[in-house]
Amino acid sequence: MRVTSGSAFGRLWAAYAVSTYGSWIAFGAFPLIAVQVLDSSAFAVSLLDAAGLAVAAIIAFPLGPWVERRAKRPVMIAMDLVRFLAMASVPVAYFVGLLSYGQLLVVSVICGTAGIAFTAASGAYLKYLVRGDDLLTANARFEGTSWVATAAGPPLGGAAIGLLGPVVTILADAVSYLLSALAVLGIRGGDVATPHDPAGGLRGADLLGGWRFIRHDRVLRCLFLNSVLVGGLIMATVPLLAVLLLGEYHFSAWQYGLAFGVPALGGLVGARLSARLVRRHGRYRVMTVSGWLRSFFPLGLAFVHPGTTGLLTVIAVEVLLITCMGVFNPIYATERLRRTPSDHAARVLSAWSVGGKLVQAGLMVSWGALAMVTSPLTAITISGVLLLATPLLLPRAGWAPEDPGAHDHGDRPIRRWSPGPAPAAGRWCRRPAARWRCCPSTTGCRRCAGRSCDS
């Protein structure tokens, strides 16, 4: 399938774009409201994000099998409408003088739960729409859109907050979910859903199916551990950066938005380069190098200080970090979808989101408490030091990308060695504790999977 803007993929891309732009225009709005309107502490700001993530992840735990058995477009539309109503309640409560910290927590939980279901449905639908090499191109377009929205959204949101207050950006975010639902509604064509056994209900094995699949695939397991830890350690510092820059260093709202908006252009550059780098250097090498670099640069935030040079330090660190993430993320997302069969996609993506949000929630609470005991800057520095160890969890050389659908009927995928020179007929393959004869062909047998042979 050719990826074009006029296809069903184009409408899915448009839905993603409009909701992403809305979310980034409202970037930091909840922490700003908590700090400036409700006068919350650093721990309360961290708890706001953490509690929303944790409770949403727990509620969303059974959503993977539920999404998997239903057509994906109606699920996406319903989740967009739920998020629209939840977000729209915040400005309404603010204008009538009833806004509270508890309402922010409830809205955060509702939007987080709906977001997990939407991500699972949209990922499964993307795998259904786009096949083969186009999948990396599609993921790169999503990634590029995300970083453009990240570049434009915070400065626009910061300006809007400075002129009209933070609730205006939340209203814009609510409207973006409504527009996303309309874009998905306009998609025509087929849909995908796993057949449902009417005799059986939702079983415990169904709830754990996504986790079990990730655990049995070595590459997915490594990518999962790496991604949730990197994402958790980075996201744990976001509320602390808000407190540090806005509270202690007295940066204005537009400076705060600029510090996280301009660097996102590096993510666009990285996303545009991702496919080219893979064609030239190979998926494993590009993913490994960019994965190492994205874990190295956050330590630079330890040198942030007040004033213009401090602002430039934040921008420089974020440019380097986000450029590497722009290269890494499309490769990682494509690898995850390629190694997951269509009838497991929603379950795996849901389990992945739940795990990531639970880790983020735990680390946010821990880093909020750490900031209270020490200082926000010290907690940010400790996060940067711990990130240096996360690349050790990346997949090692010798594990090839799976072809789509190259799995058993059960949950355990078929492991394949990465391709080397084609084995000569009649030679022997060597593995620890195993030795067998290659089939007499120039491409190798399935069991050898093309691994180099030694005579």
For residue range 385-406, list pLDDT tens digits in order.
999 999 999 887 655 544 444 4
Does residue 412 form part of some domain? no
Given 378, 393, 408, the domain boundary residue is 393
Q: 454 and 383: one domain?
A: no
Q: Of 89-98, 277-286, 443-452, where does mean pLDDT reach its minimum? A: 443-452
Q: Is the pLDDT of residue 375 over 80?
A: yes
> What domain count does the chain have?
2
Does residue 78 form part of some domain? yes
pLDDT at 372: 87
Whether this prediction's pTM lies above 0.85 is answered by no
pLDDT at 195: 65
Q: 378 and 448: one domain?
A: no
Q: Rounded mean pLDDT of 210-225?
A: 88
Instruction: Supply the range of the domain harboring residue 93.
Output: 8-189+204-393
Pairwise CA distance, residues 268 & 257, whole Å: 17
Does residue 199 form part of some domain? no
Does residue 171 form part of some domain? yes
Q: Rounded mean pLDDT of 44-70?
A: 74
Q: 260 and 389: one domain?
A: yes
Q: 56 and 106: one domain?
A: yes
pLDDT at 433: 37
Q: Is the pLDDT of residue 124 over 90?
A: no
pLDDT at 201: 53
Q: 292 and 426: one domain?
A: no
For residue range 259-268, list pLDDT tens digits in order.
877 888 888 8
Q: Is the pLDDT of residue 421 over 70?
A: no
Please report, for residues 57, 80, 199, 263, 357, the alpha-carbon distance to residue 74 in angstroms, rounded to integers and kept in the order given. 21, 10, 24, 35, 24
Q: 76 and 219: one domain?
A: yes
> Three-state SS for 38?
coil
Does residue 411 form part of some domain? no
Q: Of 48-62, 128-142, 274-288, 428-442, where does mean pLDDT reach its minimum? A: 428-442
Q: Encode burial over 222-259: b for 16+ CB neighbours within 10 A, e otherwise.
A: bbbbbbbbbbbbbbbbbbbbbbbbbeebebebbbbbbb
Q: Which two tokens stand for residue 69?
A: 């058995």
For residue range 230-258, list pLDDT tens digits in order.
999 998 888 888 888 888 888 887 787 77
Q: 30 and 133: one domain?
A: yes
pLDDT at 188: 81
Q: Is the pLDDT of residue 128 over 90?
A: no
Q: Is the pLDDT of residue 437 over 50?
A: no
Any idea what the CATH number is for the domain that residue 277 is in? 1.20.1250.20
Does residue 196 form part of some domain? no
Q: 345 and 436: one domain?
A: no
